[in-house]
């Protein structure tokens, strides 16, 4: 029995910083989400999909503790080029160079049990509604809306609303958006109002991330915790880290406790490139010092 099972592909990323520096690295929500959940003590599994000749999931997760890898073969892998226009990496242009074959329910090992299915696609079509339908009722379902809003149009990656949202949101126990995605889905830039709208359409707990804070609405109260990184060298993977830490902590903690831990974990993660792998004690120390 796993605490969380993360479904999502490894992305062969080409990241170009605002100063022109180009970095090639393995990215994707599955890496940032899987690493942090395992590092803070939750039994974790991941289901990365890609071409075995291009990606090596075992190597990608070799440094993770408490994590099992269930690789799925695809004729193609996902590769994305991100060009960041500002030092804080808040503005970027993303281009899809290639993408995986879509996940199918048959890719999910039927004998693997988990408390949470964390659906962490990178583009619309990676993990379709058939995956949500399969996971619903078997465990809690967590969805990052990036994987249903971000579309590929002639290589360019653009965001469009999820037309079927009111059909599928009632099947989602934990929903994560960033501020822009929340506005696309609801039409309002007010994050609190957006969270309430998403909840009214059937989703469970709503997390909306922003460069200053993380917000959660549970249907009764709005909770916020500030992000306090001392530098932004590890900005990539911010939302994935925050969401994964939150949903796994929620298995045993209150909303406010889980959000505090997630905000501290992602603040610490943003100070160093790569996925979070510093352990639970480092987050607890960070909370004592900065919160």
pLDDT confidence band for 15 (50 / 70 / 90): confident
pTM of the predicted protein model: 0.95
From 119, 91, 172, 115, select the one nearest 9 (Cα to Cα).
119
What is the token pair recorded at 50? 């890609």
Over residues 99-123, the pLDDT tens digits come to 999 999 999 999 999 999 999 999 9
Beta carbons within 8 Å of 46's beta carbon, 6+ residues apart = 5, 6, 8, 30, 34, 57, 61, 67, 68, 69, 70
For residue 47, the model assigns a pLDDT of 98
Question: How many Cβ atoms from other residues are within 10 Å of residue 111's Cβ?
Answer: 4
> CA 180 → CA 160, 183, 186, 189, 269, distances in Å?
11, 5, 10, 8, 22
Over residues 34-91, the pLDDT tens digits come to 999 999 999 999 999 999 999 999 999 999 989 999 999 999 999 999 888 887 766 7
Q: Walk me through the domains of the chain, giving residue ranges and CATH numbers.
A: 4-290 (3.40.1190.20)
DSSP for 182-230, please give it: HHHHHS-S-HHHHHHHHHHTT-SEEEEE-SSEEEEE-SS-EEEEE---S
Q: Which residue has the tokens 């500030």?
A: 226
């Amino acid at each position: 029995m796993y605490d969380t099972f993360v479904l999502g592909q490894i992305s062969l990323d080409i990241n170009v910083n605002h100063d022109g520096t180009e970095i090639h690295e393995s990215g994707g929500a599955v890496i940032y989400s899987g690493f942090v959940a395992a590092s803070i003590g939750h039994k974790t599994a991941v289901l990365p999909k890609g071409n075995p000749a291009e990606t090596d999931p075992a190597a990608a997760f070799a440094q993770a503790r408490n994590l099992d890898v269930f690789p799925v073969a695809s004729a193609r892998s996902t590769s994305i080029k991100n060009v960041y226009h500002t030092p804080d990496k808040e503005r970027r242009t993303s281009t899809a160079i290639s993408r995986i074959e879509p996940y199918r329910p048959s890719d999910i090992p039927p004998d693997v049990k988990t408390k949470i299915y964390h659906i962490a696609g990178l583009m619309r079509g990676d993990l379709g509604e058939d995956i949500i339908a399969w996971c619903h009722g078997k465990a809690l379902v967590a969805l990052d809306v990036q994987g249903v809003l971000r579309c590929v149009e002639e290589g360019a990656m653009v965001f469009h609303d999820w037309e079927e949202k009111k059909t599928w949101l009632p099947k989602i126990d934990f929903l994560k958006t960033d501020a822009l995605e929340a506005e696309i889905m609801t039409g309002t830039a007010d994050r609190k109002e957006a969270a309430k709208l998403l909840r009214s359409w059937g989703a469970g707990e709503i997390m909306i991330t922003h460069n200053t804070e993380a917000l959660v609405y549970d249907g009764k109260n709005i909770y916020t915790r500030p992000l306090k990184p001392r530098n932004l060298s590890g900005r990539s993977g911010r939302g994935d880290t925050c969401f994964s830490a939150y949903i796994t902590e929620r298995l045993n903690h209150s909303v406010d406790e889980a959000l505090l831990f997630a905000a501290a974990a992602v603040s610490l993660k943003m100070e160093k490139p790569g996925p979070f792998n510093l352990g639970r004690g480092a987050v607890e120390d960070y909370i004592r010092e900065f919160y």
